[in-house]
Amino acid sequence: MTQTRRTALVLGAGGLVGGAWELGVLQGLAEAGADLSTADLVVGSSAGAVVAARLAAGKDTLAGLYERELDGTAPAEPAARLGAGNILRYALALLTSRTPEAYGRRLGRLALGTDTVDEARRRAVIARRLDPVTDWPERPLLVTAVDALTGELAALDKDSGAPLADAVTASCAIPGLWPPATLLGRRYIDGGLHSTANAHLAAGYARVVIIAPSTVGSKVIHAPARQGADLAATGARVEVVTPDKASKAAFGRNPLDPSRRAPAARAGRAQAAAHAPAVTALWAE
């Protein structure tokens, strides 16, 4: 396959903590000479969608976004947790599904049948995370979400007709914890359910960096490493960055605990040094 487009950055799902880690990795790589904010395409799923939107908008520097995770100016949020019962439901849904769409439909039913916070309140939380970003950037940005009824993946962009905050709210709508988001007359749930990275959306780009807080994968849900290998098989140059031992320790046990954002961001920045030579070489081609 002939690659006609240049660079793509893929930011995966991983909760508030994973998003902070992504910013740490990005900052560390930029300090080493690989500024991935220049990507021709940015793809974001779940927490990665928040990071992707803020990065693509360019209203703050990468260093500023990173510092926001450390200095306490990020919007204050209470810790949330996906309970053991819902975790079991996720596992059963995965075991009884043969495709990502079937898995999405099962979790869509869970989401639609769970009484959670008001949808408008949840959107307001995401809007605060995005602040001061309110509109789609001109740069290519894809935000993923899963249709709660069909289980199909949607890759939303500025031409989709969905406001940016609504699209990102949908991408972050964890079934059983947050309400499905209403977009264009349909209900959507977390984009990280189709896969934790959705790196296949970068097909056709010559150079792709995947930063994925979650390495989860199965026969149904393709792991970031597998998606990276699939892209490489088409002729793309690909680097996949996933948490090392120190980063996993910094995450703690709950990816939705805001108190772990700063430790995760610092760990990501430190880990970037190990990936910098390969990523810098790829980005400079």
What confidence category does residue 1 fall into, taking pLDDT thresholds of 50, 70 and 90? very low
In terms of C-beta density within 10 A (0-12 exposed, 13-18 middle, 19 or more buried), how is residue 91 classed? exposed
pLDDT given at position 75? 65
pTM over 0.75: yes
Q: What is the pLDDT of residues 86-120, one digit of tens each?
A: 999 999 999 999 999 999 999 999 999 999 999 99
SS3 annotation, the chain: CCCCEEEEEEECCCHHHHHHHHHHHHHHHHHCCCCHHHCCEEEEECHHHHHHHHHHHCCCCHHHHHHHHHCCCCCCCCCCCCCHHHHHHHHHHHHCCCCHHHHHHHHHHHHHCCCCCCHHHHHHHHHHHHCCCCCCCCCCEEEEEEECCCCCEEEECCCCCCCHHHHHHHHCCCCCCCCCEEECCEEEEEHHHCCCCCHHHHCCEEEEEEECCCCCCCCCCCCHHHHHHHHHHCCCEEEEECCCHHHHHHHCCCCCCHHHHHHHHHHHHHHHHHHHHHHHHHHHC
Q: What is the pLDDT of residues 21-55, one digit of tens each?
A: 999 999 999 999 999 999 999 999 999 999 999 99
Residues, the chain = 285
pLDDT given at position 79? 78
Amino acid, single-letter form, for residue 10: V
Mean pLDDT of 252-266: 94
pLDDT given at position 3? 45
Q: What is the pLDDT of residues 60-74, one digit of tens each?
A: 999 999 999 997 666
Mention every residue, 6+ apart, whose C-beta is less than 8 A from residue 191. 13, 44, 45, 46, 49, 143, 144, 145, 146, 153, 154, 170, 171, 198
What mean pLDDT, rounded, does the chain reach? 94
pLDDT given at position 2? 42
pLDDT given at position 78? 74
What confidence category does residue 285 fall into, taking pLDDT thresholds of 50, 70 and 90? confident
Closest CA to 55 of 76, 71, 35, 74: 35
Q: What is the pLDDT of residues 131-181, one digit of tens each?
A: 999 999 999 999 999 999 999 999 999 999 999 999 999 999 999 999 999
